[in-house]
Amino acid sequence: MANIKELSEKVPERLGPGHRLCAGCGASIAVRQVLMGTEEAVVAVCATGCLEVATTIYPYTAWRIPFMHNAFENAAATISGIETAYRALKKKGKIKKEIKFVAFGGDGGTYDIGLQALSGALERGHNFVYVCYSNEAYMNTGIQRSSATPKGASTTTAPAGKLIPGKVQFRKDLTAIVASHRIPYACQGTISHWNDLVTKAQKAFRVEGPAFINVLTPCHRGWRYPQEETVKIARLAVETGYWPLIEIEEGIWRFTHKPKERKPIGEFLKTQGRFQHLFTEENKHIIAEIQKEIDADWARLEELQEASSKTT
């Protein structure tokens, strides 16, 4: 597991202070933790979104590594091209040192708009790490729903009201979709469990071929909670089973952390304004539906872990 003392002494700070992300933003915490996963030189790209907009306000940048901004939909394609150019130059002897490559994209740019570029890059087998920082909506453009938005959440394009009680669909299971590409490494993490996330980043940067990290990054503006509670809410997501901490390594599924006893999902939902309408009498059945889905997903993950253990 990652050691905080060793990290502080060996790994340079790759994302500097002074950026314009909101106080309490989960994305900046996730980026710093992921970039602690390697001591090698790193090249990063970032899809249009909160992270890119707030860290690269011209003529300034918070990135202390080579960085390229790309369009909303093509972060994976961009990093694929850079990684391919690197391999070609290294083969010709024009580059000697080892360089790692990482792409960052929000859930809008990963679950939705950039899925085709991500799938293509994974299928081709490029050697890079893709990090989805999921704040579960298009936060940069006004809190519109994405396919990462959970059932029942109120957004500007799926507002809770007389006609609908927030988003009516369950969120997409992107981690499972990525794992179906049979890449060397895929995982889920969150900022409250830094040791788990940094250790997963270390694994992701070490593997040969594509790796994927899906990081839950709470957003106090879109989720509507006090900005100082970001890490607390991320921890609740894990403790309720809302965001299981898992990894899929060479096809082997396993939990990297399991709460001793999962808390009811209501403990997580009640902390956020986007779910407050669910606690009215006419909408309480939706909380029960969400709990049922979480229980079923947890059981499925346990079955996958058990099946994986029999093959090793």
Q: What is the pLDDT of residues 101-132, one digit of tens each?
A: 999 999 999 999 999 999 999 999 999 999 99
pLDDT at 312: 66
Rounded to whole angstroms, the Cα distance separating 133 from 258 reads 22
Tokens 């909380």 belong to which residue?
287
Q: Is the pLDDT of residue 310 over 90?
A: no
- Nearest of 190, 184, 153, 187 to residue 168 by alpha carbon: 153
- Nearest of 270, 253, 269, 265 to residue 305 by alpha carbon: 253
CATH class assigned to 4-311: alpha beta
In the beta sheet, which residues pair with residue 216? Answer: 134, 190
**Two structure tokens written together for 60:** 């300034």
Query: In b/e form, how buried is each residue of 246-283, taking b as 16+ CB within 10 angstroms?
Result: bbbbeeebbebebeeebeebbebbebbebbebbeeeeb
**Two structure tokens written together for 136:** 């579960």
Rounded to whole angstroms, the Cα distance separating 262 from 161 reads 30
- pTM of the predicted structure, to 2 decimals: 0.97
- Mean pLDDT for 129-153 is 98
Confidence of residue 149 (pLDDT cuts 50, 70, 90): very high
- Mean pLDDT for 268-272 is 98
Query: In b/e form, how buried is each residue of 98-116, taking b as 16+ CB within 10 angstroms?
Result: eebbbbbbbbbbbbbbbbe
Q: pLDDT tens, 27-82?
A: 999 999 999 999 999 999 999 999 999 999 999 999 999 999 999 999 999 999 99
Burial class (CB in 10 A: 0-12, 13-18, 19+), 149: buried
Q: pLDDT tens, 16-38?
A: 998 999 999 999 999 999 999 99
Rounded to whole angstroms, the Cα distance separating 32 from 14 reads 7
Reduced to 3 states (helix: H, G, I; strand: E, B; else coil), residue 229 is: helix
If phi > 0 it is left, if psi is from -120 to 50 it is alpha, else beta; for residue 251 that is left
Confidence of residue 293 (pLDDT cuts 50, 70, 90): very high
- Mean pLDDT for 283-306 is 98
Identify whether 17 is preceded by a cis peptide bond (ω within 30 of 0). no
